[in-house]
């Protein structure tokens, strides 16, 4: 009986040398086998990326026109006079199949920390903008003067509303756009591509034909700016999930907000406000 143990061990060692189990390395003695680890899960394939702004603009515009509109939210900060205050808002936009700039409806709230934020409603359709301060009625910008106490909040709200088009200056100045970076990312768990885009300010000024827009761009150029930056996150279907808006306001304030588009395909209707 004493010689049987070495024989059994030799047999086991021989089996370990000739029985190869895929995925395992080495050998365990009888009675010491552990659980086989699951193979690592395959990484999600990277989303296709654009490095030419022309097809990016074309495909995103086609996607948003097909969806028709989206609900949205705004969150960020406004810095001016050495003070930073929160800026929040909720609204929606409607992308017309025949129009270029989407119609926008927005309720924007802002105010110094520790105070009740002032709210301003905005409706933008085509080239027209209507504003309604929290304690007043609707007034069309440029046609009806606003109370001086409401002007600051109204100016902020109008500037944010004008920036809610996911493509914004990119679509307006396509020949001046450069894709600076495109990286895999995620928005609320949804795979996305995060684009950093740059608009050459000199080219934008040269191509702008609207007098008011041309004057605004030229003023930024005289102030030393050379480019406009933009960020946009696109999902696999080329839907904008998020954009970042950073701009200098006419009163010297600096705006920095994230816009989330959380309801593409929602039945959005935006109409001019009813007078009174």
- pLDDT given at position 124: 94
Torsion of CA 205, 206, 210, 211, to 10 degrees: 70
Tokens of 61: 């515009």
Instruction: Look at residue 271 in the predicted model and tell me its pLDDT.
Output: 94
Q: What does the CA dihedral 218, 223, 227, 233 come to, rounded to 10 degrees?
A: -100
User: Which candidate, 38, 43, 19, places its Cα nearest to that of 30?
Assistant: 19
Q: What is the pTM of this model?
A: 0.78
pLDDT of residue 125: 93
End-to-end CA distance of the chain, in Å?
A: 107
* 27 exposure class (CB count in 10 Å sphere: 0-12, 13-18, 19+): middle
Q: Which residues of the chain have pLDDT under 50?
A: 1-2, 4-35
> What residues contact 65, with CB distance under 8 A and at least 6 apart?
95, 96, 97
**b/e sequence 131-148, b meaning 16+ C-beta within 10 Å:** bbbeeeebbebeeeebee
Tokens of 175: 């020949």
- Do 192 and 233 contact (CB within 8 A), yes or no? yes
Return contacts of 3-9, CB within 8 angstroms, 24+ apart.
none
Would you state the pLDDT for residue 43?
Answer: 53
**What backbone torsions phi and psi does residue 232 show, to the nearest 5 degrees?**
-145, 140
Distance CA 171, CA 128 (A): 19
Report pLDDT for 31: 44
* Partners of 88 in the β-ladder: 75, 109
Output the pLDDT for position 33: 39
């Amino acid at each position: 009986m004493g010689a049987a143990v070495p024989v059994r061990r030799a047999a086991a060692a021989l089996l370990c040398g000739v029985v190869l189990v895929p995925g395992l390395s080495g050998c365990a003695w009888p009675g010491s086998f552990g659980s086989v680890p699951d193979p690592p899960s395959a990484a999600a394939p990277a989303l296709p990326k654009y490095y030419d702004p022309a097809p990016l603009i074309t495909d995103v515009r086609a996607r948003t026109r097909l969806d028709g509109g989206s609900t949205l939210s705004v969150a960020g900060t406004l810095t001016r006079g050495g003070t930073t205050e929160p800026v929040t808002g909720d609204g929606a936009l409607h992308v017309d199949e025949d129009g270029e700039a989407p119609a926008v409806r927005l309720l924007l709230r802002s105010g110094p920390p520790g105070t009740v934020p002032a709210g301003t409603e905005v409706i933008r359709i085509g080239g027209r903008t209507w504003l309604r301060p929290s304690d007043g009625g609707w007034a069309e910008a440029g046609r009806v003067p606003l109370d001086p106490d409401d002007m600051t909040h109204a100016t902020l709200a109008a500037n944010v509303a004008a920036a809610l088009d996911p493509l914004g200056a990119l679509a307006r100045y396509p020949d001046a756009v450069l894709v600076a970076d495109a990286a895999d990312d995620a928005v609320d768990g949804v795979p996305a591509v995060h684009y950093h885009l740059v608009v050459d300010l000199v080219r934008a000024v040269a191509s702008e034909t609207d007098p008011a827009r041309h004057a605004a761009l030229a003023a930024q150029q005289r102030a030393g700016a050379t480019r406009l930056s933009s960020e946009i996150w696109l999902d696999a279907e080329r839907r904008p999930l998020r954009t970042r808006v950073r701009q200098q306001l006419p009163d010297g304030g600096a705006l920095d907000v994230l816009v989330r588009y959380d309801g593409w395909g929602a039945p959005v209707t935006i109409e001019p406000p009813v007078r009174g």
